[in-house]
Amino acid sequence: MVLGIHHVGIVVRRLRDAYAFYRGTLGLPLLREAEIADQGVRAALLGAGDTEIELLEPLDPDNGVGRFLAKRATRRTWMPSSSISTVEGSR
């Protein structure tokens, strides 16, 4: 059973450019920003009510996130992450 959406991840070209929309237009507060070297991204976590939006900027166009963005550059890309109580058969 899905209990709620924990966060939604959105890959962006540049965090600074994405802030104009997510922080400026939507007014979402910045909770934290950090470079996550082992994942090859700079990430920003924004508050959105009972959930969060995670913006992901690739540090290298040739890493997994960079290639993901290049393939989908003309579309908005996002990845929901939900909270669940149990997964059938996981016990």
pLDDT digits (tens, 9 = 90+) for 63-85: 877 787 777 765 555 555 545 45
Cα dihedral: 8, 63, 57, 68 (round 10) = -50
**Sign of the CA dihedral running 15, 19, 22, 23:** positive
The first and second tokens of residue 73, run together, are: 């550059």
For residues 86 and 16, which has the higher predicted lDDT (pLDDT)? Answer: 16
- The reply to whether 61 falls in a domain is yes
State how far the Cα of 63 lies from the Cα of 8, in Å rounded to an integer: 21
Closest CA to 7 of 81, 90, 83: 81
pLDDT value for 91: 47
Q: Is residue 89 part of a domain?
A: no
Q: Would you state the pLDDT for residue 34?
A: 96
The total number of structural domains that make up the chain: 1
In a domain, 35, yes or no: yes
For residue 22, being part of any structural domain is answered with: yes
Residue 34: CATH number of its domain: 3.10.180.10
Question: What is the structure's pLDDT at 22?
Answer: 92
Q: What is the pLDDT of residues 21-79, one digit of tens each?
A: 999 999 999 999 999 999 899 999 999 988 999 999 998 888 877 787 777 765 555 55
Would you state the pLDDT for residue 78? 53
Domain range for 76 is 2-83
Does any domain span residue 50? yes
Predicted confidence at residue 17, as pLDDT, reads 92
